[in-house]
Structure 1
Amino acid sequence: MAHHKSNKTVEGNPDTGHGGGLPRRPDEDELEERTELDREEVGLDPEAEPDADTAYAGEEAEVDREARRGEVAGDADLPRKDREAFPPSSYEP
C-alpha cells in the first residue's frame, strides 16, 4: 500500500480539530514542480512541453493499425441492433 503524504492545507489546525477544507485552487508552482519531478523519474525531459497534436496523431495511427489488423470492429455505421453485443457476452436470449 502506498504511503499517503500529509496535506496541511486540508488537515487544518490539530488543536481545534477544524479542517481547512480543500484549497480553492491548486498551487500552480507546486503542481509544476511535481510534474517536472515525475517526468524526471520516468526518464523524460522535465522542461519539454508535451505536444497535444503529436500525441493525438500517435493515438490515431494506433487505432488505424488496430483497425487494419481487424482488432477494432468498424461497425459504427451499422444500426445498433445489427452490432455485436458490448461488452461481449456468452448470454444468448
Structure 2
Amino acid sequence: MTKPKPYGLEQARAQLPQIASEAVAGYTSVITRHGKPVAVVLPVSTWEAQQHANRPRASLLALRGTGRGLWPQGASTAVAELRHEW
C-alpha cells in the first residue's frame, strides 16, 4: 500500500479532477488545512470494504426491553385475552 498523497486545501480545490482520477486509479489522497489532515479522498471500493468490515452484526437481543413504558398497566392481560380468542 502506498502512502497517501497530501494536498493543501487550496491546492486540492485547484486539482480536484486530478485527485478524483487518482482515486479511480486506486490511490488515496489526504487534504490538509494548515498542515493538519481534514479529509481523505479514497477509492470507493476501499471505502465500501471499510464500511462492511466495521459494521457490527445486528442482533435481536439489542432490541430487548426497548418497548418498556410504551404499553399501559394491564396490557399483558389484554394481550393474553386476545390470544385466547384465536
**TM-score bracket for this pair, using the shorter chain length:** under 0.3
Return the structure number with greater helix share: 2
Return the structure number with greater strand share: 2
Structure showing greater radius of gyration is: 2
TM-score by length of 1: 0.22
Structure number with the bigger relative contact order (C-alpha 8 A, sep ≥ 6) is 2
